[in-house]
Amino acid sequence: MVNARLGKEVYVETPDEVGMLAKISTVLAGAGINIQAICGYGEGGKAKFRIVTSDNKKTMDTLKPLKFTMKEQEIVFLELEDKTGAISEVCRKLSSEKANLTHIYGTTSSISGKSLLIISSNDNVKIAKLFV
C-alpha cells in the first residue's frame, strides 16, 4: 500500500565547497530545525540540496543570511512498504500514467517497515491522486 500527499521541499544552491553540508546542517540544527529527508549533489561548481524539514519557512529564514540561492518547491511524499519491488511498482504506475519525473530521492527504515520517496514531476497533483 502506498500513501501519498503533497508537500514542499527547500531547494538550496551553494558554492561547491568542502564542508557546505556540515555548515547547512549545523545552522539548521542550531535553529531547532529537523532535516527529515535530504538529497545533495555537485554540478558545475555548485552544490545543490533538496531538503525536507520540519519547518521550511524557518529553514529559509535561517539560511537567508548565508546568501544562498533558495526556493520552496512542491513535491509528493510517497510512503510505501520497505520491501523488494515496492519502488518498482510505484515507478511502473507512474510510467503508465506518463508522469515525467523531474527528481526523486528517498529514505528507508527497516525499523518502521516503511520507505519514504520524495518525487516531483510535471503534475504533482495527478501523482498524489494516483495513490489515494
Domain(s) of CATH 3.30.70.260: residues in the chain: 75-130
> What's 75-130's CATH class?
alpha beta
What is the rounded CA–CA span in Å between residue 52 and residue 43?
Answer: 20
What is the rounded CA–CA span in Å between residue 9 and residue 47?
Answer: 16
CATH number of this structure's domain 8-73: 3.30.2130.10
Confidence check: pLDDT of 120 > 80? yes
DSSP 33: P
What is the rounded CA–CA span in Å between residue 50 and residue 13?
Answer: 9
Domain(s) of CATH 3.30.2130.10: residues in the chain: 8-73
Residue 110's pLDDT is: 66
Per-residue pLDDT of 52-88, as tens digits, reads 999 999 999 999 999 999 999 999 999 999 889 999 9
Reported confidence tier of residue 42, pLDDT bands at 50, 70, 90: very high
Confidence check: pLDDT of 113 > 90? no
pTM listed for this prediction = 0.89
Quick check: 104 and 119 in contact, CB under 8 A? yes
